[in-house]
Structure formats: C-alpha cells, structure tokens
Amino acid sequence: MDKKYIPQLGDTISRLGYGCMRFPTNEDGSMNYDEAEKLIRKGYEMGINYFDTAVVYHKGDSEKVLSRALKDYDRSTYYLADKMSLGVVNSEEEVHKLFYQQLDNFHTDYIDYYLVHALNRNNWKKAKEMKTVEFLQEMKRQGKIRHLGFSFHDTEPILKEIISEYDWDFTQIQLNYLDWKAMHADRLYQVLVDHNLPCMVMEPVRGGYLANLNETCNAKLNALDPNASIASWAVRFVSSLDNVAVVLSGMSSEEQLMDNCATFSAFNPLSEKELAVISDVTDEMLKLNDIPCTGCRYCMDCPKGVDIPAIFSIYAQWKVFGKAERFVNGYEGAINNGYSATNCVKCGLCAKKCPQMIDIPNQLARVHQFYLEEKAKLDAAKADV
C-alpha cells in the first residue's frame, strides 16, 4: 500500500482509507458484524492505516465493529477518524457526552482525526449554537484529539466562512472527476489548497456511480487500459491531486477492497493523456445537463437572496445522475433556507452578468417547475405503496 507523508499533519497516511459506512448487511438491513470485521482486518493487513467512522453509520454499529476489529493491533499503527454527528446531538451536554462515549467505544485516550460532521449552512449554525468547535478545541488542547477538521456538503462561500472562523487542521469534501466539473468541486478543492488545509476525499467513486458508466464512456476508459477497472480511474483521479491526503472508499466487499488495494499498491498518478480522456468522459456525461452554469458566481449576489449557482448545481446533479429524490430534497433545502428560485422577481440583474449568457430568470423558473413535477411524481409513487 502506497503511503504519503502529509507535512501539515506530520502523519504518513495510506493513500486509501477505509470509509466505514457501507459494510455488508443482513437481510433485515442490520450490519453483518462478522463480514465487516473480516473486511476491516483484511484492509489493515493490506496496509490501510486510516479508518473513518461516525456514530450514525450503521446506526452505531460501525464504531462498534471498528473498535472490535482493531483491538488487537498496536494503537500507534493506525489512525482513527470519528465525527461529531450534529443530527444526534441537541445541546452542549450531548456534544460532550457523545465525544466521551466515542473514546469509551474505542477504549482509547485519543482520536487521531476528529471531524464536525457534514457541515452545511444549517448544521454550521447548529454547531455554533452548541459551541461544538470550542469544546473540540479544548479536547485537542487536552490531547484527546490530534487533528481537528470538518466534513463539508455545501457551496464555496459557506466553505470559506467556516474556514475563516476557526483554526482547522484538515477538511473532508466530496471529490471525484464528475463532481469536479458538475458540482464545482474543483473550486472547493482550490479553497483548501489556498488555505493549506489537507483534503480528505469522500465519494471518490460517487457512491458507486463511477464504477460503471455508459457504454461509450466505459469504452473510452477501457481503451486506455483494458485491465483497469472503471472504478480505478476514479480513485486514481483524486489521489493524483497533490493536496489530497487520503481517499476514503466505503468498501462493502472483498472484491472492491482488493481492486482498490491493487490501484494503490504502487500508486501511479494519472498521465496527461489519461487526464484528457477522463475530462472527455466527464464532458460526455455532462452533455445530459442543458444549463451550462460553470459556478463562476459572477451573477451573485441576487438582491432577493437566490443562490443561482447552487440551484443550477442541484439541477445538474439531477440531470447527470438521474436521482429525482435527491433533486427534490436538495431543492427543498434551498426553499427552507430561503435561497430557492421562488424568491426570484425576474429583475434580470443577474443575467446581464452571466458570461455563459444563461437566461437565468427563465431557467430558474424552469427548474422550479421541474421540482413541482418531480415532487408530484414522487408523492404519487409513495401514495401507491
């Protein structure tokens, strides 16, 4: 397993990290402890030394099985990453209690990488109300946390706001070659580079979506190397980026684990030619999106608070990935947070500033109409069940 020294952290981390959220399950949906434990131990034996979990993964069973699987190994030979999941705590006391419970769960005095989990504009507000970061900084001063960071799911301005308010050691973002262009993940990555924050990568294969593309795209990648799996291009893409410290993969089978370990056993960054083919494959997939927003934000700020690039990004995600439910949920998040297309009064200020010449007010109205239609379909499907 190839390992990488991260100077800002002083740690040497395996390029592949074990994301402990997708272990094999039983028929009733509960985690299969024995299978999960076998996978973790196999991963460790293959050289993985970074294990990322959270109390909400597998309803708490992920932390438990990870603790059980790692108990026989020397504590100094692996890095444990755990999180303050804001969905399960509602007060300062509960934040403190969960953290100490996690130390207990792992029978350890310290957690190497501790993250405030899944920050977005809502969670960030909640984290601040509960003085979460102040408490975790104190835990770091006491040596109970070695490195403090956060995982992130929102837009560039929110990322900059969070980074500017506290001293962080690292950040975890969703990064893969499709999001690089479709969701403007390149900008999030650049913010981390600018702030010298090592980047932990989640969703390198986009929840499995980039493990098997359409026929044309698969053929383009197979022409580069018929022996390489389609997923391996995705993990190589992110690990080739200089500021990436570790690539987390939620491996649910030995086959996936072995494929990833093979990719990282003697890591080979992508060549210029390979990068060009991946860019071409991404463009092929992005053709499915008909609003050519690049996320440049020249159209902002809208006087009515519409986050135009965020709305177009939610729409692009639907067109490219075809997940209607995610589109509806994402758009409802925008409504609840006051930045959806419903606020638009069609003043036209934004459209004058758009280098892509997008007819923004009408495209926003169109996205809103799609939302209403898709929501109606989902509601009807639920009523049928």
Cα separation, 332 vs 120, in Å, equals 14
What is the Cα Rg of the chain in Å?
Answer: 21
Question: Residues 156, 104: contact at Cβ < 8 Å?
Answer: no
Is 288 a binder of ligand SF4 (CB under 6 A)? Answer: no
Question: Which contiguous run of DSSP H or E holds residue 111?
Answer: strand 111-119
Span near ligand SF4 by CB under 6 A; candidates 103-111, 219-227, 293-301, 370-378: 293-301
Q: How far is the CB of 223 from ligand SF4 (least distance, A)?
A: 32
DSSP code, position 180: H
Where on the phi/psi map is residue 60: left (φ > 0), alpha (ψ -120 to 50), or beta? left
Which residues in the 334-353 window bind ligand SF4 by CB under 6 A? 344-350, 353
Is 361 a binder of ligand SF4 (CB under 6 A)? Answer: yes
Q: How far is the CB of 199 from ligand SF4 (least distance, A)?
A: 23
Is 182 a binder of ligand SF4 (CB under 6 A)? Answer: no
Is 97 a binder of ligand SF4 (CB under 6 A)? Answer: no
Alpha helices in 106-171 (DSSP H): 121-129, 132-141, 156-165
* List 173, 299, 328, 334, residue binding ligand SF4 (CB under 6 A): 299
Largest CA distance in the chain: 65
Rounded to the nearest 5°, which phi and psi values hold at 278?
-65, -40
Is 56 a binder of ligand SF4 (CB under 6 A)? Answer: no
Residue whose CB is less far from ligand SF4, 14 or 289: 289
Is 297 a binder of ligand SF4 (CB under 6 A)? Answer: yes
Measured in whole angstroms, the distance separating CA 317 from the mean position of its chain's CA atoms is: 14
Locate 63 and state its tokens.
């932390």
Is 191 a binder of ligand SF4 (CB under 6 A)? Answer: no
Is 370 a binder of ligand SF4 (CB under 6 A)? Answer: no
Is 376 a binder of ligand SF4 (CB under 6 A)? Answer: no
Binding footprint of ligand SF4 on the chain (CB under 6 A): 293-299, 302-304, 306, 308-309, 312, 344-350, 353-354, 356, 358, 360-361, 364
